[in-house]
Structure formats: C-alpha cells, structure tokens
Amino acid sequence: MWLPCGCTSKYVASSFARRILASHLHVSGRSRCNVAAFMPEAAGFEGVSGRAALRELSVSNSESFWAAVARHRLSWSIPFHTVQDCDLSRGKIKWFEGGKLNVSVNCLDRHVHTCPERVALIWERDERGSEMKYTYRELLEMTCRVGNLLRRHGVKRGDCVTIYMPTCPLAVASMLACARIGAAHNVVFAGFSADALAERIRDAQSSTVITVNQGVRGGKVIELKKTVDTAVESCPTVKQVFVAMRTDNPVTMTARDIAMEEEMLKEDVVCEPAVMNSEDVLFLLYTSGSTGKPKGLVHTQAGYLLYAALTHRYVFSYHDGDVFGCVADIGWITGHSYVVYGPLANGATTVLFESTPIYPDPGRYWDMVERLKINQFYGAPTAIRLLLKYGDQWVNKYDRSTLKTLGSETGGICIAPRPSDPDAEIVPGMAMRPFFGIKPVLIDTEGELLTSNNTSGALCMAQPWPGMARTIHNNHQRFIETYFQPYPGYFFTGDGAYRSEEGYYQITGRLDDVINVSGHRIGTAEIEDVVNQCPAVAESAVIGYTHSIKGQGVYAFVVLKKGIDVKEADLSRQLNGMVSEKIAKYASPDFIQFAQRLPKTRSGKIMRRVLRKVVESDLEGLGDLSTLDDPAAVQEIIQGHEKLLSKNRP
C-alpha cells in the first residue's frame, strides 16, 4: 500500500522492486501496459490506466510518485527514509532525506559498467567538421583525473570551485569531478566581464578557479585567462587557478597558475567517489536579481539530478540510443540540466556546442543535425528568431530526417507540450501542459486564486518539486522574499501566464525587473548601478523592450547632473563601454535616451510602468497617472522617445 500524500514514506528499494514486479504480473488491459511501457514505475500505482491518470496521481499523491521515480532512476548508496519535508510558507525544501549517493556515479560509473564504449559527449567545436567524440569510459577517466588533481591541491568536500570555461569536454569533466569529490561548482558564463566574474568568485568564496588559456567562438579568439587574471586581483580567497589549453597560444602564467592537462597526466584514472547526502550542495548558479546584486541559487544532489533526468527523458521524448543536441552554454541552468546532468544521468549521447548559430553561415545548426544525426534539438528562442531572417534555404539545404523533437525554451522546465498522449495537439508558442508533479496556479493582483480558464495572472506553483533551488547562497531571507513572500503559501516564478479555454498555459513575460536578452537574464538594477557610476549621471532607469531578434533589448533613460556639458553620442559610447566592462556586452543598452527628469510618484518612486508603455508606443495604456508628481515629465519622455527613434530610423 502506498502512503497518502503528507505521510513519510519509508519503503526500501528491495520492497519497491517486489511491489513493481507483483503489480506488473497482474496488469490487465492494454492501456495499463502502455503506460507502464511509457514509465515503468506506473505499474506500481493502483488504478493508473493512462498518461492523464499518471499525471493526476503525480500531483494528488506526489510523495508516492516521486518516491517510486527516485528509487527506480537513481543509484543510491543508502536509501532515503523521508520523501519530502517542505514548507513553502517558510521557503523550506528538503527531498529524499536519509539517502546517500554520488551524482558522478549516477552520470558515469553505472553506464561504464554496462556500455563503456557508448559515446557520452560529441564536442561540436567552433571549427565546423572538427567534432570530437568521448565515450563514457573516457569521460569517467577524465573526470577521475580532475577529481584527483583537485584533491591533491587541497580542494575538500564542501568547498566551492569556480569554473570559467567555454562549453567543452574538460568543463563537463570539471563539473563532474567536483560532484565526485563532494565539492560544489560555480560555473560562470564565459562571456561575463572580469568584474562580474570577480563578484561571483567572492560571493561563492572560491579558493580554486578553473579556466582555459583562450576561448574560440564564431571564429574569434576570446582571452579568458586574461579576464580571470584581472578578476582574481580583487579576490583574496583565490589561491590557485588551473589553466587548460583550448588553443596552442601560450599565456602568461603566474605563481598561482597550474597547467591543468600537464598535471592531470600525473593522476590516477580511478577516483573514489564521496558519499553525499541528498541535500548536500551540488552547485551554485548565479542569476540576475532585480535588486542589482546577482543571487547564487543553490541546487542540491538527488532532487536536482532526478528532475533533470526525468524532464530530459519525457519532455524531449528521449529514447536510449538517441543523440541529444542542446545548444545552450554550460554557464546557464539550461546547459547544466540539458547538456550535462539530465542526458548523462540517462546514459545519453549529448552534444557540446561551442560555436554560434551563424558561423560560418546560418546553416550551422542544420549542418550539425545532418552530420551528427541528432534526434532531439533544443535551442534558445533568440537563436531561432535570429535564423528566421535568413530564410528557409539554409534549413532546406541539409538532411534533417533524424530529428524527432525540435524544442525551444529557456530555463528549467515545469510546463511543456510533452509529455502527453502521442496524438495530443501541440500549440506553437505555448508551454501548454504542467510536467509530472507540477501544480501551477494563476493569482491575481489581489492575491486571489484564478480558477477559471481564459484568464491571466501571476504564475505560481502550489506544491514543491524535487528540482527546486533550495536557497540563495548566504542569503536565505532574500530567497524567501523573492520566491515565497509575494504570494504566501506558493512559489512565485516571477512570470505572468495566460491559461487558455482548453487549460493550456502560455508564459506572457517577466513580472519583476528582470529582462531576458538573447537568453541571458539580467536585472535592470544591475545595469542602472553601472550607469549611475558615471560621474556625469544623476540617475537612470533601465527597462526591457520587445526586440525582434534578441527577445528583449535594453532601453536606458538617463538624467545628467546639472551643468554637465558633453556630447550625447560620446556619453552613450562611454556608458555602453562601462556596461560591457562591468557586466557583459549583451547587457549594453540598445537605446540611451537622455532626459531632463524621470516620471515619479509623489513619494519619489520612478514609474517604470509608464516608461515601458512609452517605449512600447502604447500611449493609450499609460493608465492611472494620478500619483505622478509632475505629469509634464511624461510628455517630455514621449517627445524624447520620438526624437530618438527618428534619429535611428534608416
């Protein structure tokens, strides 16, 4: 008998295996067989006769569902005794307590035991046609060498290693090596500036950094080691930097730098895995916040790995033997989950894409699909929008017959068109269906639940799931304030959503001050902080606007200090340079509008809603302006916007 939701489940693995077998022998009816073939764990659930019933059970009896899936899909050193201990009102999330395991063993060793020569990674290097393949055995050996190297140089269980590398096999091995020895990793996107990297190193308190001499992307060489050198000057915690060689070009090495590949050759190919608790930290990943300071979201071992593996298999209809191609950078959560952990936990062949969608031409993706025989392709919406302007000829030029799934989204997956019945409809542009165990709700501005369809509201989750972040590093209060306080008792995603007549969900955009530029989430406050550091600037307001290629662009309103005499074009260049240096090039404003003043409430708060409407040319939707301190400020902003647009028209 499965325990009802809310009780503590204490079944051991052997008991579960017997239960599955006993249930399987008594399965009757074709649909029951079909759902068990789709998800073997379903054979253990009484009365589940189809995918819809399985999804319903995963929500109504989530403990039983997640317990069965966790026991079946992860290899445990010691089984867990408590499925979940969560309280959304307090931001408390714990899954699979008592359980012990090692993530790298789940991603590598268990596959090496059964199929050591299966290809784990296909590295699609920047140079087209020069891909390299690594088997599970080779990846395990590389991971063990890195793990032993880190241990020999003093990296201990619980330490945090910062990784600043392009998407490449050694970056994956470095992530898995951290997991193997019990250290957390903090992967920083290799497009971030030295200042942004330094801030993340300091917050994570890393003493060890792993990087490469240079990156190569879109035919250009990127000086990553130089960026690290600049960053660590302001990071007193950093004691050592491991430097791998992506190119043959030598770089200046200091006393703290270690030649990584050279030292790896001295290490054994066997590395004893640490036995980790389910809720030990697996990694930190910094995401942009609306307060200006990036927040280090913490993900833990078992729950994260299970959710990444399950969504990888069922959202993308992955089957054993498929070649999975997610073109995200490993520096983002999509890359962590669907380039590294999800595919490797499932024993998949996963593609590491180092280049850009238009190098050396706009056919790069489809050439890769044909050449590598990719079965599932997962790309960013920005890249797809970019390719649209080049027409269909680049797509039609290549054989795409191996493709079974074509997906586009950003971030973690909780709502997606699949899994669903094989003949169920897919509506373009809609997230559609909640995943197993996910219970979305829409809430209005008064905090009331919206129960009808054909309605919009704030997208929240009514119950926890294993893949949730657990906290913000060193700032649990901020975690609570960001995700749990806006709608008490619910997890707030930060997005607005629309629920159609059919009950399908469509994400309508961010509700906070975070914008998404080419798949990179950036807090508007972060950009404002940099702009405001300019001696000529009195204040600024940054908003996102709809961009046909990037999804969202950056639009900055800037008020200068009195008495400043400077050419606007020169100052614009200076401000863009500052943002590029302090954050990253993608965060630089597309438009900078200089204004005498910004529209504010009587209490002095900038009315960003009004600025957004002006930039969107939705003057009818300006709404209630009764709280404005000086309504004339809005007219000045409108006129300035029109003037800026006319200047930039071809």
Q: Cα dihedral sign for 402, 404, 410, 412?
A: negative
The whole-model pTM stands at 0.84
Q: Where are the beta strands (DSSP E) in 146-188?
A: 160-164, 184-187
pLDDT at residue 3, rounded to an integer: 23
In one letter, which amino acid is 294?
A: P
Distance CA 475, CA 492 (A): 18
Distance CA 185, CA 412 (A): 18
Average pLDDT over residues 310-323: 97
Burial class (CB in 10 A: 0-12, 13-18, 19+), 376: buried
Superfamily (CATH) of domain 514-648: ANL, C-terminal domain (3.30.300.30)
Task: Describe the crossing of helices 224-232 and 194-204 by its angle, rounded to 10 degrees.
Answer: 50
pLDDT at residue 6, rounded to an integer: 30
* Phi, psi at 75, each rounded to 5°: -95, 120
b/e string for 612-641 if b means 16 or more Cβ within 10 A? Answer: bbbbeeeeeebeeeeebeeeebbeebbebb
Sequence-distant (≥ 6) Cβ neighbours of residue 612 within 8 angstroms: 543, 545
* Highest mean pLDDT out of 270-279, 439-448, 521-530, 620-629: 270-279
Percent of the residues in the chain that have a pLDDT greater than 70, as a whole number: 92
Average pLDDT over residues 596-604: 78
Distance CA 239, CA 584 (A): 25
Asked if the domains 103-408 and 415-509 are classified in one and the same CATH topology, the answer is no
Lookup: tokens for 296: 């280090």
Q: Decide which of 3.40.50.12780, 3.30.56.10, 1.10.1370.30, 3.40.250.10 is the CATH code for 103-408.
A: 3.40.50.12780
Site of tokens 């890393």: 206
pLDDT at residue 288, rounded to an integer: 65
CATH 2.30.110.10 for the 415-509 domain, yes or no: no
> Model confidence over 350-404: pLDDT tens digits?
999 999 999 999 999 999 999 999 999 999 877 887 787 788 999 999 999 999 9
The domain spans of the chain are 13-73, 103-408, 415-509, 514-648
Distance CA 492, CA 513 (A): 14
- Asked if 11 and 64 count as a contact pair (C-beta separation under 8 A), the reply is no
- Asked if 122 and 351 count as a contact pair (C-beta separation under 8 A), the reply is yes
pLDDT at residue 410, rounded to an integer: 57
The answer to whether residue 474 scores a pLDDT higher than 80 is: yes
DSSP helix/strand/coil, 628: strand
